[in-house]
Chains A and B, each alone.
Chain A
C-alpha cells in the first residue's frame, strides 16, 4: 500500500508530483544561498557596527573639548582661587557647556600610561590639569571662551576634537552605506541564483509540468510547488550561512568594541564577545533565513508564472 495519508487532508505532505526533489537539488542551491547569507551577515554586522561607531563619534563630536590648564595649583588672577578652580568656575558659568569635569590624578595617569608608563606621577614632570568639557551645541564659537579662559588663567589651552570626530563620523557613515549596498547586492545575487536554479528546474521537469498542466493544474498550483521547494532550500541555506558567520561576527564585534565605547572587558572572552554584538544584530541575524525564504518564494513564483505563460 502507499504510505499512510491522513483522511480529509487536501494534499499529502511531501507529494512531489513534479519531481522537484531531484530537479532543484538540495546541495547546490542551499550552498550558494549559504555563501550569500554569510556575506549578508558580515555586511549586516558591518552596517550595524559602523552605525554604532558613527553614532558614538557623532556624540563625541558634540562633546569633545579639552581644556589644559598648566600649573593648576597656582593662584589665578582672582584672589584666593587656583587657576584650575578659576577655569572650572568660568566653564560652568558659560552657556552652551553641558559639563566640565577635571580629570583626577588617576584618570590622568591612565591617559599617560601608554607614553610614560605606570609611574608617571613619580617622574615629577609638570603635568597640566585636564578638563573634559561637554558642549550642548557642537557648532558653538569657541573664540570668546578661549579668550576669557586665557584672561582667567594665562597659558590655558583649548583643544577642539569635534572636527576629528566629525571626520570619523563621516567615514563611518560612508562605510555604513557601503555595507548597505553590499547587502542589497547580495540579496540581488541570491535572487538571481534562485532564478537560475528555478529555470534549470523548469527545463528539467518540463515534461512533468506539461502533464500536470494538461491535467488541469493552474499556474498557481505549479508555481506553488516550485516556490515551496525554493523557499525551503533558501531558508536552510541561509541558516547554514548565518551559523557559519556567527563566530566571525562575534570576533569582529569584540575587536570593534573599544572603539564604540564599550565597557571594560569582564575577562570572559565569550561573554565579552556576546556583549559586544549590537543588540540590533541579534534581531537581524534570525531575519536572514526569513529574508532568504521570502526571496526564494517571490523569485520562484515570478519565474515559474512567467514561464508558464508559454503553455496554452
Chain B
C-alpha cells in the first residue's frame, strides 16, 4: 500500500527546481510501511519535515534516493505518465486549501471527478450529496473568496474525498475549524478509514490527537520514528483502526 524504504529527499531534484543544484537533504532514511486501512497521525515540530513527507506521498516530489512504493507502484522508477492515475487515488487536504478562486464551490469539488472523466450526471449527484454532508449545500455556487476560512476548508476536504481515494493525506486540516467542526471532520476521516481508506493526518492539535488516539509517525529533523500518540489509551472508543496496518520497519 505505502512503503518507504530508505527514502531520502533533497529539493532541487526533479520537480519545480529542475536544473538547479541539489539542496541539503531534508528527509533522511525514511523507512516504514502502512497496510491498506491504516490510520496515522503525523506529528513533529514545525520545519521537521512533515510537509516534505506528505509531498512525497502525494507525488509532488519524487525521492532523491531509496524506494517509495505507493498503491503498488514504485514511484522512484515509474514513468512520469504513470503518475496521474496514481494521483487520482490520493486525496489531499492542504493547509492553505489550494482551491481554484475562479471556480464555484461546486466546480472545485467536482474538479477531480471531471479530471477523471466521470459522467456529469454522476458528478452532480455525488458532489451535491457530499456538499450537503459537509454543510455547504447553500454555498454550491459561492466562490472561495466569498466563503469563510472554515467553509473553504470544508470545500477543500470535500474535494479531497469526493473520489473516495485509497490514500487520504491531510496537512493541518482542523486549523481553521472550531472544535465542533473538527470533531465532525474526524468522524468523516474515521468513516473513510473504516471503509478501507488509508488516512494520514499531520497536525499540531494536541487535544484532537488526545481525543482520537492512534499510532503516529513522528518526525524530527528529517528523521522518522513511529509510536502511539499520546492521550488516553483506554476508553469506550479505541480510535480509528489502531490495530491494523501497523508495521514499522525501522528507525
The SS class assigned to the A binding surface is loop
Which residues of A are found within 8 Å of B124, using beta-carbon distances? 5, 7
Residue interface mask B78-106, A partner, CB < 8 A = 1 = 00110111111000100000101011101
Cβ–Cβ contact B115 & A9, under 8 A: no
* A292 vs B18: C-alpha distance when bound (angstroms): 33
**A1 in contact with B120 given A19-B100, A216-B88 (CB within 8 Å):** no
Which residues of A are found within 8 Å of B18, using beta-carbon distances? 310
Size bin of chain A's contact surface? 20 to 34
Which residues of A are found within 8 Å of B60, using beta-carbon distances? 214, 312
Interface pick from A10-18, A45-53, A129-137, A158-166: A10-18
* A310 vs B14: C-alpha distance when bound (angstroms): 7
Cβ–Cβ contact B84 & A216, under 8 A: yes
Which residues of A are found within 8 Å of B80, using beta-carbon distances? 309, 312
Q: Which of A207, A208, A211 has the most CB of B within 10 A?
A: A211
**A12 in contact with B115 given A1-B141, A216-B85, A218-B84 (CB within 8 Å):** no
* A15 vs B104: C-alpha distance when bound (angstroms): 11
* A22 vs B103: C-alpha distance when bound (angstroms): 13
Minimal beta-carbon separation of A202 from chain B (angstroms): 13
Minimal beta-carbon separation of B81 from chain A (angstroms): 7
Which residues of B are found within 8 Å of A221, using beta-carbon distances? 115
* A221 vs B87: C-alpha distance when bound (angstroms): 14
Which residues of B are found within 8 Å of A12, using beta-carbon distances? 120
Cβ–Cβ contact B120 & A9, under 8 A: yes
Cβ–Cβ contact B16 & A10, under 8 A: no
* A122 vs B210: C-alpha distance when bound (angstroms): 123
Which residue from B61, B115, B116, B141 sits with its C-beta under 8 Å from A2? Answer: B141
- Count residues of B near A (Cβ-Cβ below 8 Å): 39
Residue interface mask B97-141, A partner, CB < 8 A = 1 = 010101110110001101111111100100000000000000011
Q: State whether the Cβ of B3 lies closer than 8 Å to any Cβ in chain A.
A: no
Cβ–Cβ contact A310 & B16, under 8 A: yes
Residue interface mask A280-311, B partner, CB < 8 A = 1 = 00000000000000000000000000000111
**A312 in contact with B61 given A7-B124, A208-B100, A215-B111 (CB within 8 Å):** yes
* A2 vs B143: C-alpha distance when bound (angstroms): 12
Which residue from A208, A217, A309, A310 sits with its C-beta under 8 Å from B115? Answer: A217
Q: State whether the Cβ of B62 lies closer than 8 Å to any Cβ in chain A.
A: yes
Q: State whether the Cβ of A126 lies closer than 8 Å to any Cβ in chain B.
A: no
Cβ–Cβ contact A2 & B140, under 8 A: yes
* A2 vs B11: C-alpha distance when bound (angstroms): 41
Which residues of A are found within 8 Å of B117, using beta-carbon distances? 10-11
Question: For chain B residues 1-59, which have a beta carbon within 8 Å of chain A?
Answer: 14-16, 18, 58-59
* A311 vs B60: C-alpha distance when bound (angstroms): 8
With CB as the reference atom, state the residue of chain A lying closest to B114: A11
Q: State whether the Cβ of A6 lies closer than 8 Å to any Cβ in chain B.
A: yes
Which residue from A5, A19, A214, A219 sits with its C-beta under 8 Å from B87? Answer: A214
Minimal beta-carbon separation of B91 from chain A (angstroms): 9
Residue interface mask A194-221, B partner, CB < 8 A = 1 = 0000000000000110011011111101
**A11 in contact with B61 given A17-B107, A217-B115 (CB within 8 Å):** no
Cβ–Cβ contact B15 & A2, under 8 A: no
**A17 in contact with B112 given A214-B92, A216-B87, A312-B83 (CB within 8 Å):** no
Cβ–Cβ contact A1 & B111, under 8 A: no
Minimal beta-carbon separation of B98 from chain A (angstroms): 5
Q: State whether the Cβ of A8 lies closer than 8 Å to any Cβ in chain B.
A: yes
Cβ–Cβ contact B120 & A215, under 8 A: no
Cβ–Cβ contact B15 & A17, under 8 A: no
With CB as the reference atom, state the residue of chain B lying closest to A206: B16
Minimal beta-carbon separation of A100 from chain B (angstroms): 75
Which residues of A are found within 8 Å of B81, using beta-carbon distances? 218-219
CB-CB nearest 7 A-B residue pairs: A7-B121, A216-B88, A216-B87, A19-B102, A218-B84, A2-B106, A217-B115
With A22-B102, A215-B159, A218-B84 already in contact, 8 other A-B pairs whose C-beta atoms are closer than 8 Å: A1-B141, A8-B120, A17-B114, A216-B84, A218-B81, A309-B80, A312-B15, A312-B62
Footprint of B on A, CB under 8 Å? 1-2, 5-12, 15-17, 19, 22, 207-208, 211-212, 214-219, 221, 309-312
What are 5 residue pairs bridging A and B, where the CB atoms are less than 8 Å apart in the complex? A17-B103, A214-B58, A215-B87, A216-B88, A310-B18
